[in-house]
Amino acid sequence: MKVDLTAAGLTDEARHILQVAANLLGAYRLSARLREWDGTRCDALFVDAMDGYGRRAAESAQRRGIRVIHFGDAPAPADGAILHIPSSGPIAALVRQLQHLIVASPAVRAVAPPASNIVQMAVSPAWLGHDLAFRGGGREILMLRSSSRVLAASLSDILCCRDHFDDPAWSIEVLQVGATRPSTHHVAVSLDSFLCQAVEAVSGPLPPHAAGRWILQDWPDLGAATRQVAALRLAQALRRGPATAAELAARTDLGLDEVTRYLWALRAAGLLQSATDDSAEPAAAIAAVESTAAAPAGGVLARLARRFGLGWK
């Protein structure tokens, strides 16, 4: 599993110790990368909270829901949201703390993630299995899970709703069965692609999925999600059989955060089922069918993949 760690305001010595500890996470089958904080999303940010730049980076990361760790020997600041790991302890203890922080205890996130619309759409009993309307700012889209389509009056309405999908001021309502659809809604796109793109616009981390394995009912329609190559890989990994989020991250070499996001999108689209759910049996049977078709030799497949932008080695 890949782990993306960033650092801001650390001394050279603390940075070096953290780099060594990150490398040693390989013993736990975690491929950790440590880089300088650049304001983009990551799994955790390590700062020296006594340093001015470190504090500013911590504030910015906390606003985005990224967990922040004060990495130094000075006492932790009186901010309950920032965890403290001393930088002067034994390196083996430090590695164990990092491993525990990253994998064993996802609940240690410094900031509780907000109740995202996409999460609500996936789990709210009132919305499950229904077609929905998403409205705000004078715009409206209809999300039809029954046909896996999004309908709107214009493409700009769809793009605007996608960008505001996590805006709490915008609302979702159930569309009544048999209700007349507006005749103006003649632009249609894929619901699965829409949600996989919308979930990328959600700021901050999404909550982890409940323990247990997941199975894909049907292949998601990702035809318009041309930049979401990771979603393709995740769908294929789910096709191979039921898996937990962590297993999927290991199968695909994607970050756990990215896997979590796409799983929420696929759940919201109504395509993902719990493998322990009785109703998931037919889907499990489909996913368990291995194709009997012969694949081209590895070298040929790698050349094709490079040519078509999959970036395999």
Partner 1 sequence: MNSEPIKLVFAGPMGAGKTTAIRSIADSPPISTEMELSEGASAEKSTTTVAFDFAVVNLDDDTPLHVYGMPGQEYFSFMRRILLQGAIGVVLVLDGSVASIASDCSTWLASLRENDAPMHVVIGITKTDQAPQFSLAAVRNAIRQTRQPIPVFTFDARDTEQTTHLVRALLVSMT
Closest approach of partner 1 to the CB of residue 285, in Å? 8
Binding site for partner 1 (CB under 8 A): 146-149, 151, 185-190, 218-219, 221-226, 229, 232-233, 235-236, 239, 282, 285-287, 289, 291-296, 300-301, 303-310
Closest approach of partner 1 to the CB of residue 237, in Å? 9
C-alpha pair distances (Å), 64 with each of 9, 60, 161, 198, 239 = 19, 7, 21, 16, 32
Closest approach of partner 1 to the CB of residue 127, in Å? 19
Q: Which is nearer to partner 1, 56 or 239 (CB)?
A: 239
Residue tagged 């001015």 (tokens): 52
Q: Which is nearer to partner 1, 135 or 239 (CB)?
A: 239
Q: Which is nearer to partner 1, 96 or 185 (CB)?
A: 185
- Cβ atoms 256, 1 nearer than 8 A: yes
Closest approach of partner 1 to the CB of residue 142, in Å? 10
Distance between CA atoms of residues 240 and 289, nearest Å: 8
Q: Which is nearer to partner 1, 112 or 300 (CB)?
A: 300
Q: Which is nearer to partner 1, 94 or 283 (CB)?
A: 283
The residue ranges of DSSP E strands in the chain, in sequence order, are 2-8, 31-36, 44-47, 67-71, 83-85, 132-136, 139-144, 149-152, 171-174, 187-190, 214-216, 272-274
Closest approach of partner 1 to the CB of residue 159, in Å? 15
Cβ count within 10 A of residue 208: 16
